[in-house]
Structure 1
Amino acid sequence: MLLGVDVGGTFTDAALLTGEGELVTAKAPTTPDDQSCGAIAAVEAVLEQAGAHARVVERFVHGMTVGTNALLEQKVARTALLATEGFTDLEELGRQARAELYRLCAGHPPPLVPAELRVAVAERTGPEGVLRELDEDQLRARLSDLAEEYGHGPLEAAAICLLWGFRHPEHERRCAQVVAEVAEQVHVSTSHETAGVFREYERCATTVVDAALSPPTRRYLGRLLDRAREAGLPAPEVMLSGGGVVDAGTAARHGSWTVLSGPAGGAVGAAYRAGQAGAPDAVCLDMGGTSCDVSVTLGGGVATAGLREVGGRALAVPMVDV
C-alpha cells in the first residue's frame, strides 16, 4: 500500500492506495505547534477507515509547510553568512527591481542574517580560478569570536557564498571545514551545493534561506520519523518544491528545497488526474482552508520555474510554478 500525507493550513489530509487500487482518504486538524502530530492522526484515521495496519504500508510520501511557515513568519535559525570580502551585504542589498514600482516607500523583507553575523572571507576567485588564496587563520579567528560572543546555542547555521563558488567550489569547501572545526554543531549550507547557479544575489539569497530553514526542518522531520517509527510506518519521503521526492535526511540538509513542498504535491496530483481525463493541457486549482494554489499542466507535465520569490526572497531552486 502507498500512503500520502499533505499538511495544509487547516487540515492534514491522508490518502491510502490499496493493493486493489482503491483510494481511501481521511482528514485530521493540522497541529501548527508540531505538524507531525496532525500527520500521524491523519494516518491513523485513514488506516482505520481502510481496515489496514501500518505494517502493510510500503511507501510513505509527505508534503509539508514547515519551511514555508518558518520563512514567512521569520521563525528561522540564527544564521551567519560567510562571503567574499566586500560582498557580505548581498542578501540585504538585493536587486534594484521592486514589486510596487510606484510606491516610493515600498519596504523589503528584513535580511535573515543581521550585520553582526556577516563574516568577510579573505579570498578571491574569478571565472578562471583562484586569484587570492583563502586565509584560513583569519576565518578561524573570526568564527571563534562569533562562537565566544554568541555561544554555540544561538548560532545554529552558516551560509557560505563566495564569488564564483558555483564554478570553483574549493574555497567554499574549505570554509565549511573550518566552520565544522570551530562549531561542529552548526549546520552549514554552501552555495555550490544548494544553488550552483550564475548570479551572486540569487545564489546568496537561496543559500541563506537554505541555512536558515534547515535546522527547523531537521527538527520537524526528526519528530515525524520518531512518530512514524512508533506507529510502525516506513520512513517518510519528502516532497520537493519541484515535484520530486527525496529521503528525509536529504530534505533536512536542504531546507530551501522544500519551501513549496505542499503545493507541489497538489500540482503533481492534479496533473496526473488531468492526464487520466484526457486533458494533458490544463489549469489546475488546489483550494485549501488557508490558500488557493493555481498551476498549469502542459503536455501532461507540471510547469516549473528555476527562480521564484517566496515571501519577497529570491529562491534559485526548481519549483512548481504555482
Structure 2
Amino acid sequence: MARRMSKPSATPHAYRFGVDSGGTFTDICAMDERTGELSVWKVSSTPADASLGIVDAARSMHSILQERDETAPAVAFFGHGTTVGTNALIERRGAPTALITTHGFRDVLEIARQRRPELYSLQTVRPEPLVPRDLRFEVRERIQFDGSVLVALTEDEVMRLVPAIKISGVGAVAISFLFSFLNPAHERMVKQILERELPDLFVSASSDIVPEFREYERTSTVVMNSYLGPMMRSYIDRLQSALGEIAPSQIMITQSNGGLIGANVAASQPVRTVLSGPSAGVMGALEISRRIDRPNIITFDMGGTSADVSVIRDFTPRYKPMADVDGFPIKIPMIDIHAVGAGGGSIARDDHGLMKVGPRSAGANPGPVCYGLGSLEPTVTDANVAIGVLNQ
C-alpha cells in the first residue's frame, strides 16, 4: 500500500530576523519562533550603500526559508545591528556640519578639558574637530546657571546666520548653548527657524540629544549626532522602503547600550547607534556566557574595518555614562567597548618612513588584494595570506 504524503502546512512559519551589517560583511540570522531553529547566511556588504547589502541578505534568507518550508515565511521581527555610524566616524565620512553656539564659546571643541590624552607621549595627535572653526557660528544669547535668561535671543540674531549657513554647503547643523539643559527655549527657537528657512538641513539641538551638564561633552555629542544624521537618515529611509514587503513590521535598531530603538528614533538620534554593531556582539557573547556558565569573559569582535573589545563580569556587561570613540567624547549611556580602526581590511601604508595600519579599510569592494578585484593596497588579511595564516 502506497504511503500517503502529507501536505505542507499552509500556515507560514513566523521568524525573527537579526542582521549585523559591517563594513565588509553582512550577516543574517533567522530564528523560527515555534521551534527555535536557527538559519544563518552571509553576503558581502555594499559600502556605497549599506542598505543594499542588508536587503540582499534579507531576500536571500527569505528565499532559503521559502524553499525549505514550501511557503513564504512571515517576518515577525526585524532587528538590525549596524556599524554604519561607527565606520563613518572612524573614516570621517559624515556630512559637513556647522555648529551654532553661545557668543564667546565657538572654540569649546578644541579647548575641550585642557588635558593631554597621553601625558608622557611625544607623538600624541589629537583628532581634528568634526566642525572646522570657520563653520562654528556664535549668537548673542545667555542662559544662566539657574535656567534664567540673562541675554534674550532674538529672531533677527538667528536670521543673521541663515545666509552664511546656506552658502557654506553644510548638510547638518548642531546647536549647543550654555545651560540649555536647564532651559532649552533658545535652542528650540534656533532649531525651529533653521527647519523653516533651510528645510533640507539635518538639525539637532543638544537639549534634545543629551540634556545634561558639561558643555564640552554635550557639544561634542550633538555635533556627532548632526555629523552622522544625513547619512543615517537616508540609509534608514532606503532600508525601510526596500524591506517593506519582506519585513512589514517596524525595523528595530540596536543602541550602543545593547537595547533596541525604532528606526525613526535612530534616524533622528543616530549618535545612539555609534556602537550599535559592537554592542549587539557583546549581548550575543553574554548569551553564550550564560549557556556555557562562564560569568566572566572578555569579548573580542574584529570585522573588516574595526576591532572591538569588551568585558562581561558576573554575567553583566560593563556600562558607562560616557565614552570616547576615536578621540571624541559621547555623553550617551553605552556598553563599555573599546573600538579601534583596525580590522581585517585595514590598509597598511608608509607614513614618513613608519608603517601604519588603518583606519582606512578596503571594505567589501574592492576588498583586500587577495580578493583579486583590482585593489593594490595591502591589508591585514593580505598579510595573513602571505605568511600562511589564511589560505587564499
TM-score by length of 2: 0.76
State how far apart, in whole Å, the 2-side matches of 1:289 and 1:211 are: 26
List aligned pairs for 1:251-290, cutoff 5 A: 251-290=266-305
Q: Relative CO higher for 1 or 2, CA cutoff 8 Å, sep ≥ 6?
A: 1
- Which residue of 313, 318, 322 maps to 2:333? 318
1:124 aligned onto 2:142: yes
Is the Cα–Cα contact under 8 Å of residues 77 and 247 in structure 2 kept in the other structure?
A: no
User: What CA deviation, in whole Å up to 9, does each residue of 1:280-307 have, x standing for no partner?
Assistant: 4433333434444322223433211111
State the partner residue of 2:383: none
Q: Which has the larger radius of gyration?
A: 2
Is the Cα–Cα contact under 8 Å of residues 54 and 231 in structure 1 kept in the other structure?
A: no
State the partner residue of 2:159: 140
Change (3 A) 1:84 1:280: same
The RMSD of aligned alpha carbons is 1.9
Change (3 A) 1:206 1:76: same
State the partner residue of 1:111: 129
State the partner residue of 1:45: 60
State the partner residue of 1:14: 28
1:168 aligned onto 2:183: yes
Is the Cα–Cα contact under 8 Å of residues 54 and 232 in structure 1 kept in the other structure?
A: no
User: What CA deviation, in whole Å up to 9, does each residue of 1:259-286 have, x standing for no partner?
Assistant: 1110010101111221233334433333
Normalized per residue, the structure richer in helix is 1
* Gaps in structure 2 of 5+ consecutive residues: 1-14, 338-392
TM-score by length of 1: 0.92
Paired positions, count: 318
Say which SS state the counterpart of residue 76 (structure 1) adopts. coil
1:24 aligned onto 2:39: yes
**Which residue identity lines up with residue 255 of structure 1 in the other structure?**
P
**Which residue identity lines up with residue 110 of structure 1 in the other structure?**
E
Identity across matched positions, percent: 38
State how far apart, in whole Å, the 1-side matches of 2:335 and 2:273 are: 11
List aligned pairs for 1:54-203, cutoff 5 A: 56-104=74-122, 106-128=124-146, 129-147=148-166, 149-150=167-168, 154-203=169-218
Superposition deviation, residue 105 in structure 1: 5.2
Superposition deviation, residue 47 in structure 1: 3.2
Is the Cα–Cα contact under 8 Å of residues 125 and 131 in structure 1 kept in the other structure?
A: yes
Superposition deviation, residue 54 in structure 1: 6.1
State the partner residue of 2:363: none
**Which residue identity lines up with residue 201 of structure 1 in the other structure?**
Y
Superposition deviation, residue 314 in structure 1: 0.9
State the partner residue of 1:2: 16
